[in-house]
Structure 1
């Protein structure tokens, strides 16, 4: 057996073990439980599980999908997550050999786990925990330094540190822009009734508008100043969406007609500024640690804010070009499954997060070829 093949096998076994831990994250994070204590136990009878109960896939098969102690059924999700992680790690190790890419390969393992855990939680709870996405953005930027050291930037199209930051900002900016405009349409272009304070969607929309004309730095500065005004006034100082979102749409049309810095520069500036403001808002609410009351009134939303942060994670690990591949695949996959469910007269209960994760996996495996083909087509 060659060394490369042996490393692929080891990666698969390692993935099975990580998959077992992923199941812990999937069960405990939405419940706000400690992921380390207490040790693994049956959720039905609370009996502590022994080592023989924790063998990935094997224990579930040997026990017939039931707890050894109380015979309660164990969800099939547990071996599925373990198998998917094992197979995913093996595929990544085969495509991106350790001998050539080292730390870059480990970074892609982390990305795969984040995507799988986020998807499973989103399917269960329709939420994606900040504990996954916000540290995930930092991890993506951190691993980009290993990309550069291993030569993975040239070989795989993985981002440099600057490109990882750009990917994270553009990823968050793209999704939050879709959310803002979609939500505005859902409200029939009425203003938000329940704006967040001190920082939220109004500040993000302001960052988009200012960023389009003055660049990302000034866009973020405008969002921070607006948040500071809310704090000083101890109330919401409204920033009308007719001005910000309406102004953004007009700005894009003007940029496409040759006015201002130009369409591409304006779009990039707006998305980067909006993405940075969105991540700042996400970090602020996460650090406050007081999740919004589920019974509190809210405005209609076109997309969950967790999807915005998940897009930032994908952009940080894969760069903005592969992020675009992931978003396109996610949109087509969601539309296709939606049509199938419509034909079967079933309600589509799957949020965008799992589709986005699927798109990221496709971009991870085939995104480089797709990007190169597109560049060749355009003669770049």
Structure 2
């Protein structure tokens, strides 16, 4: 048996164990519970689970899907998550041999866990916890640095991870911005966020088109500082920012400014940077008010008010996989979501599924087969 085969087996066993911990995250993160204490226990009778109760998959099968102590049913999701993680880790080890890829293989396994946990939580609560996505972006950038140090091919280095994260967040938030503007029939937002929110993201889009990603992000963040200094929201009309971006892209296509492609890249990356800054600010703001028990008196505390968990998830995917596989993930997600939506209409089902699980599915496709698909596309175009 070769070392690579042994590592695939080991990765599968590791995946089963990580899958067991993933079930802890899926249960506790949405409830704001500590993921380490108290030790694992039955959610129905609160009895602490023993070692024999925690063997991945086999404990659930041996107990007939019921708690050993109170006989209450245990969801089939528990062994499913464990099996999926084991299979996913083994597949990653087979396609990205750790002896060749090094830290990159571990990074992809971390990404797989983030996607699976985030999707399960999104299916349950229609939210993706910031505790999962924002540290996930940082981990993606860290693994990008390690990939660059080891000279790993096929995975992003530090610069590629940062670019992928910014473009991932930027593409999704731009779709959200323009979609919301159209649905509001081009009327302004009634309640802009203080001190930083969608207005600053729109400003980042416009400024990034002309000034590039970092200066564009700086303009958006400067606007937030102006709000802080004024102690109120200084309104920036979307007709100026979003409308101005559309005019800017048309001018770029006509040969003015940096050019259309660079303008679009700069706009998306700047908006992505501002949106991630928004995510970090509101996450910390919400946590502080939750601990102070003062959230009831603050209309700007609800972390879900920002409404872009998918934006941060796309940033995670871009950081780990790079911008090319990110775009492939988005294409797969849109097609999968459309097919599911048509099936729901045909079956007259009222169960709604948010975009997060489809985005995660697209990321898994891009992770496992992205290299071959992108290579085939380039060959078809003669690139």
Q: Scaled by the length of structure 1, what TM-score is found?
A: 0.95
Q: Deviations over 1:193-245 (max 9, x none)?
A: 11111000000000000000111122111111110111111111111111111
Kept in 1: contact 2:328–2:370 (CA 8 A): yes
Q: Does 1:76 align with 2:76?
A: yes
* Structure 2 residues without counterparts, runs of 5 or longer: none
Is 1:332 matched up with 2:335?
A: yes
Q: Which residue of 1 aligns with 2:229?
A: 232
Aligned counterpart, 2:42: 42
CA–CA distance in 1 between the matches of 2:330 and 2:297?
A: 29
Give secondary structure in 2 for the equivalent of 1:323.
Answer: helix
Q: How does 1:276-315 map to 2 (within 5 A)?
A: 276-288=273-285, 289=287, 290=289, 304-315=307-318
Secondary structure in structure 1 of the residue aligned to 2:71 = coil
What's the offset of the Cα at 1:296? Answer: 6.0
Alpha-carbon distance between aligned partners in 2 of 1:69 and 1:4, rounded to the nearest angstrom? 42
Superposed displacement of residue 251, structure 1: 1.3
The residue correspondences of 1:150-229 to structure 2 (distance < 5 A) are 150-153=150-153, 157-229=154-226
How far residue 165 of structure 1 moved from its aligned partner, in angstroms, is 0.3
Q: SS where residue 152 of structure 1 aligns?
A: coil
Aligned counterparts of 1:72 and 1:200: Cα–Cα separation in 2: 45
2:352 is matched with which residue? 349
Asked if structure 1 preserves the Cα contact closer than 8 Å seen for 2:209 and 2:265, the reply is: yes
Whole-Å Cα distance in 2 between the matches of residues 379 and 38 of structure 1?
Answer: 58
CA 1:103/1:208 → structure 2, altered by over 3 Å: closer, same or farther? same
Answering whether residue 373 of structure 2 is matched by residue 376 of structure 1, we say: no
CA contact (8 A) 2:193 2:300 kept: no
Q: Equivalent residue for 1:359?
A: 362
Q: Which residue of 2 aligns with 1:241?
A: 238
Aligned to 1:31: 31
Q: Which runs of 5+ in 1 are unaligned?
A: none
CA distance in 2, matches of 1:184, 1:196: 16
- What is the deviation of 1:253? 1.8
Residue 125 of structure 1 deviates from its aligned partner by 0.4
Q: Kindly tell me: are residues 296 and 186 of structure 1, through their superposed partners in 2, closer, same or farther at Cα, counting changes over 3 Å? A: farther
Aligned 8 A contact 1:315 1:323 in 2: yes
- C-alpha separation between the residues in 2 aligned to 1:369 and 1:87? 20
Query: Does the CA-based 8 Å contact 1:165-1:316 persist in structure 2?
Result: yes
* Contact residue 173 and residue 271 of structure 1 kept, 8 A: yes
Change (3 A) 1:136 1:9: same
Q: How far did 1:151 drift?
A: 3.4
1:23-54 CA distances to partner (integer Å, 9 max, x unpaired)? 00000000000000000000011000000000
Q: Distance in 1 between matches of 2:120 and 2:342?
A: 22
Give the Cα–Cα distance (whole angstroms) in 2 for the partners of residues 193 and 377 of structure 1. Answer: 48
Corresponding residue pairs, total: 375
Quick one: distance in 2 between partners of 1:179 and 1:222? 20
Say if 1:198 and 1:236, in contact at 8 Å, map to a contact too: yes
Q: State the alpha-carbon separation in 2 of the partners of residues 296 and 193 from structure 1.
A: 14
Mapped to 2, the partners of 1:131 and 1:297 lie a distance apart of 19
